[in-house]
Amino acid sequence: MYDIIIIGSGCAGMTAAIYACRASMKVLLLESELVGGQIAYSHRVENFPSVEAIDGATFSERLLDQATSFGAEFKFEAVSTLRESENGWTVTTDSGEYEGKAIIIAVGMKRRLLGVEGEEELTGAGVSYCAVCDGSFFANQDVAIVGGGQTALQDALYLADICKSVTLIHRREGFRADETTVRAVKNNPKVKMVLNARVTKIAGESSIEHLEIEDIPSGNITKMPVDGLFVAIGNLPATTPFKDIIELDGEGFVLASEDCHTSKKGIFVAGDCRQKTVRQLTTAASDGSVAALAASEYVRGLSI
C-alpha cells in the first residue's frame, strides 16, 4: 500500500513526487515511456528559473534523481486501468497491481506527429514541437512551421520576431484560427504561406537540411531548404485510461479546480493533461507541488 501513486514522470509528476516525499508520504512514481515527457526531447532548456541552460534529457534525469533521493519508488510500467478499492485505488499496469490511498494523474500530452520520413531521427536536431521552448535557437535562420490552427499561426508570429524567415505550410486554403491572427500572419512580411501542401519528408544527416513538400492538387514535389521545422498540428492528452473514472472536457483534458482536485475523491491531476491555458515547465512544476500537498492532506485525513 502506497500513500500516493503518481502516474507520469514529467516535470509535474516528478515535482509532485518530491513534495509528497517531503511530506512523509510513501510514493510510487510510474512511467510508461520516457522520463521527463516531452521536455526530454528539447535540445536546450533556458526558461526554467535558476537554470541558465540545460538539455531536456539532463533536466529530466536530475529531477528523477532528486525525487528518488527523497524516497520515491520509480517503476517503468504502463498503466492500463484504475479502479476504486476498499482502501483507496488499485492501479493495474502491464506488470502487476498497486494499491494507493490517493492518485495523482500527471500523464501530460502526446504530440501529434507528422508521421513522415526523417521526423523521428531529426527531432531535437532541427525538428521541434514547441516554438516558445526552442524558437530562440533559430535566431536569424530560416524555419518552417506546419499547421493551420490558432497555435500554428501564433507560433508563426512569434517566430517571425526571432527568425530570418518563416514559411507556414498548411494542407488547406483556410485556417482554424481567429481572423485577427490570420490577418496578422498574412500581413507579416517575414511570413510566407505555402497552402494546399504537405510535408512528405524531412531530410538531413546530423541536422535538418531540407523538406520535401507535396503540392496536394498537382502531386508535384519540391525541396525547401530550412534550418528548422516546427510542428504545430496539435497535442492529445494521454488520459484515455481514466475517461470513465474522472470528468474530462471534450478534448480529453482533466477537469479540475486550481487545487488540482478532480471530480473523484482521492484523485488529483497535475501538468499538461489538466484543462488550463498555459502549459510550460513552470506551470507543470506548480501543479505538481499543489497536487502533492493536496493529496498529502487527503491521505492524512484518512489516517485521523
Q: What are 5-35's pLDDT values in tens digits?
A: 999 999 999 999 999 999 999 999 999 988 9
Final residue belonging to a domain, choices 186, 204, 231 = 231
Q: What is the CATH number of the domain that holds 279?
A: 3.50.50.60
**What is the CA 225 to chain-centroid distance, rounded?**
28
Shared domain for 203 and 274, answered yes or no, is no
Shared domain for 271 and 283, answered yes or no, is yes
> Cell numbers of 251, please?
478534448
User: What is the average pLDDT score of the chain?
Assistant: 94
d(CA 144, CA 168): 6
> Cell numbers of 178, please?
481567429
Q: Which residues are catalytic?
A: 130, 133-134
Maximum CA extent, the chain: 71
Shared domain for 34 and 99, answered yes or no, is yes
Domains contained in the chain, number: 2
Shared domain for 219 and 123, answered yes or no, is yes
Final residue belonging to a domain, choices 231, 247, 274 = 231
Enter the pTM of the model: 0.73
- Neighbouring C-beta atoms of residue 11, cutoff 10 Å: 32
Q: What are 115-150's pLDDT values in tens digits?
A: 999 999 999 999 998 888 899 999 999 999 999 998
Shared domain for 188 and 219, answered yes or no, is yes
> Cell numbers of 141, please?
535562420
Written as one letter, the residue type at 293 is L
Shared domain for 155 and 226, answered yes or no, is yes
Residues 6+ apart with CB under 8 A from 20: 3, 4, 6, 27, 72, 104, 292, 295, 296
Shared domain for 226 and 280, answered yes or no, is no
d(CA 224, CA 96): 49
Domain extent, residue 89, equals: 2-111+235-303
Shared domain for 173 and 254, answered yes or no, is no
Final residue belonging to a domain, choices 231, 249, 266 = 231
